[in-house]
Amino acid sequence: MRVLGVDPGLTRCGLGIVDGGKGRSVRPVAVGVVRTPAGSDLAERLLGIADEVERWLDRYRPEAVAVERVFAQHNVRTAMGTAQAGGVVALAAARRGLPVVFHTPSEVKAAVTGSGRADKAQVTAMVMRLLGLEVKPHPADAADALALAICHLWREPMRIRLAEAEARAAELARAHKARLAAAAKTAKKQDETGARR
């Protein structure tokens, strides 16, 4: 499976393409950063991100898109811009019918390093090791995008199996409830028949 990982941001939006193989094998395909000038109009900046993401989707043809989920930050303006950039990416993927999954920073850190509290340097070092990179992806947004793609490749199959198990459990619960209701109805009829006799 090929995944586009996206570390959204208005000034720097990290993009990383990773192929997943058997087991937990991963292979880097491409990595980069979309930059937009801070002084430009918001709509123009979002258009610049959208255009570049569209080019990546056309060129690399990922099967899924993993985007970092925005958490409340001290700077509300930064959080808003990050969320808007993530929304543009999700829209571009949705137009192509691609699944989009949002992963929290702690999920990504835990998937890649084993600790949800890992720092950026630890995440970058593990991304390099896992993908066999000799040069550190720069800036950190690029490494984070690759980490998001790896996280998705490793977590999504488990999430799908869990969702399927939950759906099966819900169906079994509905069937059991229906059987109990039918048994109660039968018992009530038998009681009513016995009382009339």
Q: Which of 52, 141, 144, 156 is catalytic?
A: 141
Burial class (CB in 10 A: 0-12, 13-18, 19+), 165: exposed
Within 10 Å of residue 24's Cβ, how many Cβ atoms? Answer: 10
Is 191 an annotated catalytic residue?
Answer: no
| Spatial distance between the Cα atoms of 33 and 47, rounded to a whole number of angstroms | 15
From 7, 52, 144, 156, active-site residue = 7
Which residue in the list 52, 68, 144, 156 is annotated as catalytic?
68
Q: Judging by DSSP bridges, how do beta strands 26-35 and 12-20 pair with one another? A: antiparallel
Residue 176, phi then psi, degrees to nearest 5: -65, -45
Residues annotated catalytic, as ranges: 7, 68, 141
